[in-house]
Amino acid sequence: MKIYHAADIHLGRRRLDGRLPDDDLAAAFRFVAEEAVRDRADVFLLAGDLFDRPQVEPPHLRQAQSVLRLLKSAGIPVVAIEGNHDRQFVNTEVASWVRFLAEDDLLILLRPRFHAEGVEIAGWNPEQRSGAWIDIGGVRFTGAGYLGAATPHKTRQIVSQLDGGLTHVLLLHAGPEYFVGEGGGFGKEDLALIKDKVCYLALGHIHKPMIHGDWACNPGSPENCELREAGADRDKTGAIVPRGYAVVELDPTQRAKPVSLTVRTNPRRPVHRIELDCTPFGTKTRNGAEALVTAALKAIAEVNPKPEAVIDLWLTGRLLLNRIAIDQNTLAAEITTAAQVFAVAVDTTRLNVGAGGMGPGANGPAEMPRDELERKAIRDLVETHPLWGLEDQREEFAQLFYELKEAVRTERSAEEITGQIASNPLVRLIGADKSAPAPAPPSLTVETNLPESQP
């Protein structure tokens, strides 16, 4: 059996304030589907986040329908699960647009039902278009979807009900703790339990490619949902890392592991990450902004980008804001036109922002990159005013607050930010801690003196 496995398509993702076309995401999805048709795949897996948000706009629904109809016309069943972006909340029973596609007979949406007594694992009902597993070609496909912070516990419940005499493929929108880097990952013991029952573990959620052993895989996002994901295309040595979709060969009579497992790369819009040290011209009284643009154009010319390329420009070093005023949008537009590329994104989070009286080598917070300065400010607030009864989780709360601040800065949707809060295990700790009364809130005034161009 030949399986094509994709995840994190994120149709409808708005990137760079809409400067990048959402057709990129649909084109990547279509390429993988066309490869599956050409390669005569037996099954196509979608391991969550087909859409970028629960409220799907008509153009993005049509994009999904077009690709899914291509697979259906080729006789390739699409087995799917919902990701955290596909549903409003983790435990909601409100029908999603992925569910709509299932009812339209364009895919098979697998989802278990959890209740107080445990989990209900029912077979696929073609009339009701619902179920948690389906048998295809001698292989049982079971879908778990996105389970949030309860992923380890609920995954163990599901695995405990899998028939050890069958060859199993498990779809899960999560990843191992060492790889995920957030709440909701599963540990080594969980992996061992899954491995005992599952031949292939099809993962989504984390947009970077990963193969665990020779039996579990996250292929990574086919298109860059954020520019930083382009960094996953190469490892620390600079070697190319395949990313986009996985091709899996299974023998239904061999339950231990796949016969073969490879991750392949699909075409995507090229992104060039360029780091520009602003220190040489960041202290100039005159023509500092012009020097910055000139240096950026020289660095871009060295990579010889194609006209359809995007430049991810990281400003580093030291810059005195009273000497050079940076309007990121204006700067990006100017460089885009002069460099003759599709778009430029200017990232200032690694820039050492200082005041005019602080010379190079001065000590103090002004020497920190902006992201570290912000993290420190948040940590200081959490240290000074911790949540009652949860003092031991100060660092975790500081990280959550920083991530939420970044979500607002990057203009994530309200639905996505709400889901990010609801799925964080710290929220459960707050809800559970009712024993101690809240202290009177302190009188707190935070003064900021950041330039208007800083988000």
pLDDT of residue 188: 79
For residue 211, what are the CA distances in angstroms to 179, 242, 382?
Answer: 10, 11, 37
pLDDT digits (tens, 9 = 90+) for 291-348: 889 999 999 999 999 999 999 999 988 776 544 556 788 889 999 999 999 999 998 8
Q: Residue 111 half-sphere exposure, CB side, CA atoms within 13 Å? A: 25
Which pLDDT score, from 0 to 100, does residue 370 have?
A: 63
Q: Where are the domains of the chain?
A: 2-265, 271-367, 384-432
The answer to whether 211 and 203 have CB atoms below 8 angstroms apart is: no
- Sorted by sequence, the CB contacts under 8 Å of residue 150 that are 6+ apart come out as 90, 184
pLDDT at res. 77: 98
Residues of the chain with pLDDT under 70: 90-92, 177-185, 282-287, 320-326, 353-373, 382-394, 409-416, 419-420, 422-455
Residue 276: its pLDDT value, please? 92
Tokens of 90: 């983790």
- CB under 8 Å to 193, separation ≥6 — which residues? 156, 159
Give ∠ CA 81-85-86 in degrees, rounded to 5: 45
Give the helix ranges, DSSP H, for 104-228.
Answer: 151-160, 177-180, 188-197
Q: Per-residue pLDDT tens for 82-133?
A: 999 998 776 667 789 999 999 999 999 999 998 888 898 999 999 999 999 9
Contact (Cβ atoms closer than 8 angstroms) between residue 172 and residue 36: no
43/140 Cα distance (integer angstroms): 12
pLDDT of residue 377: 77
* Multiple choice CATH, 2-265, 3.60.21.10, 3.90.1300.10, 1.10.10.10, 3.30.465.10: 3.60.21.10
Instruction: Check if the beta carbon of residue 54 is closer than 8 Å to that of residue 85.
Output: yes
200-203 vs 216-218, strand pairing mode = parallel
| Dihedral class, residue 137 (left if φ above 0, else alpha if ψ from -120 to 50, else beta) | left
> Looking at residue 362, what is its pLDDT?
40
Collect all residues with Cβ–Cβ distance below 8 Å to 249 and sequence separation of at least 6: 1, 2, 3, 258, 259, 260, 261
For residue 334, which amino acid is it?
E
